Amino acid sequence: MTIKAVDVSVWYDAFVAGNYQITSAYQERTIDPDNFYSLVIKSGGPINTTGYSNPAVDALIDKAAASGDSKARAALYTQIRTKMTSDAPLVFTHYETLNYLMNKNVVGSTITPTLSLHMENVGFTK
């Protein structure tokens, strides 16, 4: 394997084409695990750049996405993670925890389902 540093645009083109032996990539944070599993892990997912395909995992992803029971979903996502750990299409090297702190007189900020902080409408109270 040859390691080379490239501009992000070159990396991205290779990444989406699956033209790499190993790479490091970033995944958007999310409140709902389906935003990760359906996009990145499910067979044919729009950003499944590894080509990973496991029909059993796909069925679990579909079942979890369709469930309205949070405990059942948690159990299904645990099963998905267990199967993924065994198959190893991805290796998770770190997890970033986000903390947003504000003074109680700051109002109007919002946090999106992808955990992005939006401050377009921020203001202050007395």
Considering only the C-alpha atoms of the chain, give the largest distance between any 2 of them, rounded to a whole number of Å: 60
Determine, yes or no, domain membership for 3.
no
Per residue in 74-118, pLDDT (tens digit) is: 999 999 999 988 999 887 776 667 777 788 898 998 887 777 788
Determine, yes or no, domain membership for 2.
no
Per residue in 29-71, pLDDT (tens digit) is: 677 889 889 988 999 998 888 889 999 999 999 999 999 999 9
What pTM does this model have? Answer: 0.69
| Total domain count, the chain | 1
pLDDT at 94: 67
d(CA 120, CA 122): 6
pLDDT over 70 (residue 28): no
Determine, yes or no, domain membership for 57.
yes
d(CA 51, CA 80): 17
Domain hosting 88: range is 8-124
The domain that contains 89 carries what CATH number? 3.10.105.10
d(CA 85, CA 91): 8
d(CA 50, CA 109): 36
